[in-house]
Amino acid sequence: MSGELLDELDSGGDEVLAPGDVVAVRGVSKKFSRTLRRSLAHGMVDLGRNAVGISAQTGVLRTGEFWAVDDVSFTVRRMERVGIIGVNGSGKTTLLRTIAGVFPPDRGEIAVRGRVTALLSVGTGFHPHLTGRENIFLNGAVLGMDRSRIEDRLPEIIDFAELGDFLDSPVSMYSSGMRGRLGFAVSVALDPQLLLLDEVLAVGDVAFKQRCFKRLEEISGRTSLVLVAHLPTHVRRICERVLWMEHGRVIMDGPTDDVLDAYAEAMHRIDDQFATRTGRERSDRDDFDVI
């Protein structure tokens, strides 16, 4: 029977998104240009084509273009916490932006259920001359929260961000840590169905990171999470499933420990090769997971 159930869940019928899923990414690709001028030239052509009602050439690579995300498919279930790991330039952030709807896909499709909050960098949309309080309302509105909801959540946000007397001072007077806390607090308070986090936990001091982790665990019963991180510790602590990306493709998708072990193995191999090639010492294996 379990097989039947799984089949039933997987088939999805003619629905865009199976009922238990929050995100479905199907064959999604995203391309970029290698040089800025080339990017602008292609953009000009695309704009011209759209002006006369012709579709921009999204599905094929033109001169100087490459696939930053290449034929990626996966789903995220309700309340699932998925990590994405991979070396720099493997397409993690681009994938996250595409799920957030910041970039349209060039191939494939993405279906997303409910309210999505993407915290791709800390303090986005803060205006330096406005006070912390004013920025909470502004940032909340940018993230899709209505005023009454922000008012409800105001004490919680202020509490988490530990603004104290700075609440009514301009944000330009804040330390980067305070800005970071404020940005994170507002994003999480939106109570999204899906939270997209990109390396955000990499900023801030240890205490802030701990608070972020605690917060993420508190909301885990209500919110699905896709976390992009370089550090395996972050992923291991929060996620139960991990996608490993390389050159825009998902090369492994499975339980956290399995994927991280394979990833660590691969990183060690690269480190070994580097050490052999350059004659330097190998890195300490334990460093890898606890940086």
Partner 1 sequence: MDPAGPPRDGTGAPVAWAGEGLVLVLAPDLATAAPVLGALNGLEGAAIRRRAGSVQLAARLGREVEHNLLENRELAGGASALEESERVRLGIVAQSSAARHARTLAADLIGFATDVLDVDLIVEPVTGPSDVLIAAAQLVPAARLVVVEVGDDGLGDVLLDRFGTERVLAVTLEDAAASARAVAAFLGRSLPHDDAAVSADDEASPAAVPLRVPDPADEHVVVYRPQDRLDLGYVAAWRSILGSVRTHRDLAWQMFRRDFFAPYRSSYLGISWLVIAPLLAMVQWMIVQRNGVLDPGEISVPYPVFVLIGTTMWTMFMGVYTATKITLTSSGHLLLQINFPREILVFKQLGQQMATFLVSFGVTLAVLGVYAIAPAWQSIFLPFALIPLILMGTACGLVVAMIAVVAVDLDRLLTTVWALVLWLTPVVYQLGDTTGALATVVRWNPLTYLVLAPRDLILFGEVSHPQRFAVASALALLLFIGAGRLFHVSEPQLVERLL
Using only the alpha carbons of the chain, give its radius of gyration.
Answer: 21
CB-neighbour burial class of residue 186 (10 A; exposed 0-12, middle 13-18, buried 19+): buried
- Outline where DSSP puts E strands in 116-231: 116-119, 194-198, 224-228
Q: Whole-number minimum distance, CB 135 to partner 1, in Å?
A: 9
Q: How many CB atoms lie within 10 A of CB 244?
A: 23
Q: How far is the CB of 280 from partner 1 (least distance, A)?
A: 33
**H or E stretch covering 249:** strand 249-255
Q: Give the nearer residue to partner 1 in terms of CB position, either 115 or 249.
A: 115
Q: Is 198 helix (H, G, I), strand (E, B) or coil?
A: strand
The least distance separating partner 1 from the CB of residue 250, rounded to whole angstroms, comes to 18
* Helix ranges (DSSP H) in 191-255: 206-218, 232-238
CB-wise, 89 or 104, nearer to partner 1? 104
Question: Considering the complex, what minimum distance in angstroms separates the CB of residue 282 from partner 1?
Answer: 27
Burial class (CB in 10 A: 0-12, 13-18, 19+), 3: exposed
* DSSP-assigned letters across all residues of 42-76: HHHHHHHHHHTTPPP--SS--TTEEEEEEEEEEEE
Closest separation in Å from C-beta 272 to partner 1: 29
- Residue 194 to residue 5: CA distance in whole angstroms: 25
CB closer to partner 1 out of 46 and 162: 46
Burial of 118 (0-12, 13-18, 19+ CB in 10 A): buried
For partner 1, the closer of residues 36 and 279 by Cβ is 36
Question: Nearest distance from residue 28's CB to partner 1, in Å?
Answer: 9
116 or 250: CB nearest partner 1: 116
Give the residue with the Cβ less far from partner 1, 203 or 238: 238
